[in-house]
Structure 1
């Protein structure tokens, strides 16, 4: 297994939603974020969350990916402590076949 970083996301706003929890209003500053990615959430340079994305939206539509330069809404799985200014770094874990050298 190999971890592949996908980019960087800046949290610009947060919204509370009764049934959902906290929606992070984000801007993708580098790369791409995908629906099946996991994210590490950083505040003040310290990692405070590492886990899956529960929801990835553009406006009101659930989407598979959001590219650099676009805004999106992200809900993290079972985690609500998100603040403006937090940084998310999405990544995926890829299976790599071992080769004999």
Structure 2
């Protein structure tokens, strides 16, 4: 089962990584993309805490970026937020 919102977040991060020149930032973005893609296909979905950590990291990344890269990171965060609204608890 693929959690579509999480997969879309990962895809947006891939696009952001392609728009970034700095290799260290691109690496952080791709790392987040990989982790979120894994969450999209795991047997059990992520909890609120895990999603919150990713959302905080994406906020930090978006603040460091501008242009298309920042917009893709913000879109990824929006997808995480939309998925998080479907998670039970908190």
* TM-score, reference length from structure 1: 0.27
Q: Name the structure with the higher helix share.
A: 2
Higher gyration radius (CA): 1
* TM-score, reference length from structure 2: 0.29
